[in-house]
Amino acid sequence: MQIEIKIDDSCTEPRMIIITNKVDNEINSIIHTLSSTAPELITGFYNDLAEILSPEDIIRIYAEGGKIFASVNKKEYLLRQRLYELEEQLTKYSFVRISNAEIINLKKVCNFDLSLSGTICVTLSDNTTTYVSRRYVPKIKQVLGI
């Protein structure tokens, strides 16, 4: 892909032109990225207070008792988004789903224990131990390159 930037003092608003022979997944991804102008914020609730959570600080997001929680700095924040929405939003921040009920931040993983047959034990930076469900083991191995 070639990128060209032209500086024009008479231009009052940025304009983008994409010249291509066909619209493919790469072009659609660029269009989607450029058109989503609203910042994607994650708001967590702790002790009746709403706080903006930084994706880099989130260790894991999990479902329990019909609610969604995020672990951040030894606090458990209640989230109002659905797990699949959070998974889509956080993929670019190195989050990966390890079960139907949990997403983890790969940057907060201390180690993966592959000695168990059929599953993987994950130790996170807050000393939480969790497990990759059998269904997601191939995906995690692919992410890890093993």
Q: Where are the domains of the chain?
A: 42-144
55-65 confidence digits (pLDDT tens): 999 999 999 99
72-124 confidence digits (pLDDT tens): 999 999 999 999 999 988 988 899 999 999 999 999 999 999 888 888 999 99
For the chain, how are helix, strand and coil distributed in percent, rounded to 5?
Answer: 25, 35, 40
How big is the chain, counted in residues? 146
Q: What residue type is 123 in one-letter code?
A: T
For residue 94, what is the DSSP state? T
> Which pLDDT score, from 0 to 100, does residue 53 have?
95
> Which pLDDT score, from 0 to 100, does residue 29 have?
84
> Which pLDDT score, from 0 to 100, does residue 136 have?
94
In whole angstroms, give the CA distance from residue 132 to residue 120: 5
> Which pLDDT score, from 0 to 100, does residue 37 have?
54
> Which pLDDT score, from 0 to 100, does residue 65 have?
95
Which pTM value belongs to this model?
A: 0.71
Among 108, 113, 35, residue whose Cα is nearest residue 72: 108
Pick the CATH number of 42-144 from 2.40.50.1020, 3.40.50.300, 3.40.190.10, 3.40.50.1820: 2.40.50.1020
Backbone angles phi, psi at 17, to 5 degrees: -125, 130
